[in-house]
Amino acid sequence: MSQKEWPLWEVFIRSKQGLDHKHVGSLHAADAEMAIQNARDVYTRRLEGVSIWVVESKHVHASNPDDAAAFYEPANDKIYRHPTFYTVPDSIKHM
């Protein structure tokens, strides 16, 4: 019994037209076509999706959680990017 594992694929599903694809989990398959068929059987048995993306897991690059504090730091002190930063007089409507 000397065999390789089938590659691992990440599965993304669009639950309905107009929404983004969202990561739902992963599965093993020999190729992309089989990954999509398996994803249908594993992740959409109750009409959870209208579209499936699969990506081989080894192709996903991710940010490093250990660097999160420094990495997202530039956004920390820019509260003026949020509408709540500005005061609008009570008499002004529709803003």
- What are the residues binding another protein (CB under 8 A)? 1, 3-6, 8, 25-28, 30-31, 34, 41-43, 45-46, 62, 64-66
Nearer to another protein by Cβ, of 5 and 20: the residue is 5
Shortest reach from residue 24's CB to another protein, in Å: 8
Nearer to another protein by Cβ, of 65 and 83: the residue is 65
71 Cβ neighbours under 8 A, 6+ residues apart: 63, 64
Shortest reach from residue 47's CB to another protein, in Å: 13
| Of 6, 7, 5, nearest in space to 56 by CA | 7
Shortest reach from residue 25's CB to another protein, in Å: 5
Nearer to another protein by Cβ, of 46 and 81: the residue is 46
Nearer to another protein by Cβ, of 22 and 88: the residue is 22
Gap between the Cα atoms of 67 and 94, Å rounded: 41
| Plot region of 45 (φ>0 → left; ψ -120 to 50 → alpha; else → beta) | alpha
Element (H, E) at 43: helix 32-43
